[in-house]
Amino acid sequence: MIKTVNFPENFEPKNCPVHARNEIAINAPVKDVWNWLIHVNTWPDWYPNSSNIKILNQRNGMLAADTQFKWRTFNTNITSTMKKYQPYEQLAWEAKGFGIHAYHGWLIVPKENSVQVITEETQNGLLPKLFGGFIQKGLLKQHQIWLEGLKKMSEA
């Protein structure tokens, strides 16, 4: 069975003009992968499409169950709110920016000698309706870079 993010109905891929799914195998303990993923203040060091990250309701620089954070990605200011947080298994946030309303999920799947990391995002809004193909292509490219950065940091 293929693992997939459990999207809210309004963000189901069939209901959105943009859907991107990427995955990678990482040869590191689940704990290491998870820790790099939840330490948002380190993202700009290994995911160049992120900057100006500011957690609004916590001080430790890590994602948690009710985290809200602002950041810049794809040259857009985004406000994200955690919707799912299951340590070492999955996390997801809803994100809003100019003309975009998105849902971005991550799954951490232990394998025999590695960890499979899946990231999936869907988008609604004016910009995805007008430029869906262009946005989807950019998401696929940048999310792969994000996964490769996560792999590099986790395996180091």
Cβ count near 135 (within 10 Å) = 22
pLDDT digits (tens, 9 = 90+) for 90-111: 999 999 999 999 999 999 999 9
Average pLDDT, the chain: 96
**Domain architecture of the chain: domains with CATH:** 16-155 (3.30.530.20)
Structure tokens that stand for 52 in this block: 């100006």
Against a cut of 0.85, is the pTM above it?
A: yes
**Distance separating the N- and C-terminal Cα atoms of the chain:** 30
Q: Which of 149, 156, 151 is nearest to 45 (CA)?
A: 149
d(CA 156, CA 152): 6
pLDDT surpassing 80 at residue 2:
no
Helix, coil or strand: residue 8: coil
Torsion of CA 122, 127, 133, 135, to 10 degrees: -70
Structure-token match 């195998």, residue found = 25
Report the share of the chain in percent with pLDDT over 90.
Answer: 94
The residues that bridge with 23 in the sheet, in sequence order, are: 118
Cβ count near 155 (within 10 Å) = 12
Residue 61: which pLDDT band, with cuts at 50, 70 and 90?
confident
